[in-house]
Amino acid sequence: MTMPPLTASFVLHFGEMGSRWGFNRTIGQVFALLVMSEEALTANDLSDSLGISRGNVSMAVKELQSWQLAKVMHRQGDRKEYYYPAGDIMALAIKVFEQRRKREVDPTLSVVRDILMEQPATPQDEYAQAKVREVHDLLESLSKWADDLQQLNPDSLQTLMKLGTRMGKVLEFKERLFSDAAAIEPESPKT
């Protein structure tokens, strides 16, 4: 089984990008090939098309299933497992995001929380802890925001992205109002 040319170039590129996207070359290639294929593929199809070992394919599909990016199906009277992508492009992208946050943000958030529980031992530690708190606050709001966005259905997400700049305009206007108010009543108590 050999890949049609356009598929091949996409698959190869996705393999190269794999490591930047948090998975390795093989996983990237397998994922891309599943997405590009109209039909579900067997482990042997993948192994042949990509020229990688059967064992490697096995690890890759396992990993993709753990990322919830691929699923398995069976065909009538056929014992082989057929792999296919777990949803449309949008759904897959959302899952990749979700997983990356889990791997990239959550562990840091947890370490950062532990550090904030500690008693600072030196003045430098006090400074460090203040910085860690900033990191904590930022990661936490980021994380919450991502949660919120993920609750949205894919269509709302699309809408939101299209909204883009206009959203920014609204916010800036709102903030200008606030700072004007502060300038007018400079001696009002801080709340």
Partner DNA sequence: TTAAAGTTTCAGAATTTTCTGAAACTTTAA
Partner DNA sequence: TTAAAGTTTCAGAAAATTCTGAAACTTTAA
CA atoms within 13 A on the CB side of 53: 3
Q: Decide which of its own copies, DNA, none touches 103; Cβ closer than 5 to 8 Å per partner kind.
A: its own copies
Q: Which residue in 3, 36, 59, 86 binds DNA (CB under 7 A)? A: 59
| CA 128 to each of CA 16, 31, 110: distance values in angstroms, whole numbers, following the listed order | 38, 41, 17
Which residues of this chain interact with its own copies, rule CB under 8 A?
4-7, 9-10, 13-14, 17, 20-22, 35-38, 88-90, 93, 103-104, 107-108, 111-112, 114-115, 118, 120-122, 124-125, 127-129, 131-132, 134-135, 138, 141-142, 144-145, 147-149, 151-153, 155-156, 158-162, 164-165, 167-168, 171-172, 174-175
Nearest approach, Cβ of residue 58 and DNA (Å): 4
Q: Decide which of its own copies, DNA, none touches 189; Cβ closer than 5 to 8 Å per partner kind.
A: none
DSSP secondary structure string, 68-108?
T-EEEEEETTEEEEEEEESS-HHHHHHHHHHHHHHHHTHHH
Under rule CB under 7 A, residue 42 binds DNA? yes
Nearest approach, Cβ of residue 56 and its own copies (Å): 21
* Buried-state track 21-52, b at ≥16 Cβ within 10 A, e below 16: eebebbbbbbbbbbbbbeebbbbebbbbbbeb
- How many residues in the chain? 191
